[in-house]
Amino acid sequence: MKYWKYYLVALLVIVIDQLSKWAVHRYMPMGMPGEIPVFGDWFKLHYTLNPGMAFGVELPPPYGKILLTSFRLLAVTGIAYYIYKLWQRRAPQGLLVCIALILGGAIGNVIDSIFYGIIYNNAPFGAPTPWFHGQVIDMLYVDIYEGFLPSSWPLVGGSHVSLWPIFNIADASIFVGVAIILLFQGRFFTQEEPTHPLAADDPAAAQARHDAEASGVA
Dihedral, CA of residue 189, residue 104, residue 117 and residue 55, to nearest 10: -40
In whole angstroms, give the CA distance from residue 125 to residue 119. 16
Please state the domain extents for the chain. 4-215
Q: Which residues are catalytic?
A: 138, 171
pLDDT by position in tens, the chain (length 218): 588 999 999 999 999 999 999 999 999 999 988 999 998 888 999 999 987 654 445 555 666 677 888 888 999 999 999 999 999 999 999 999 999 999 999 999 999 999 999 999 999 888 888 999 899 999 999 988 767 778 888 877 788 776 778 999 999 999 999 999 999 998 898 754 444 444 445 566 555 555 555 555 44
The candidate with the shortest Cα–Cα distance to 46, out of 35, 54, 38, is 35
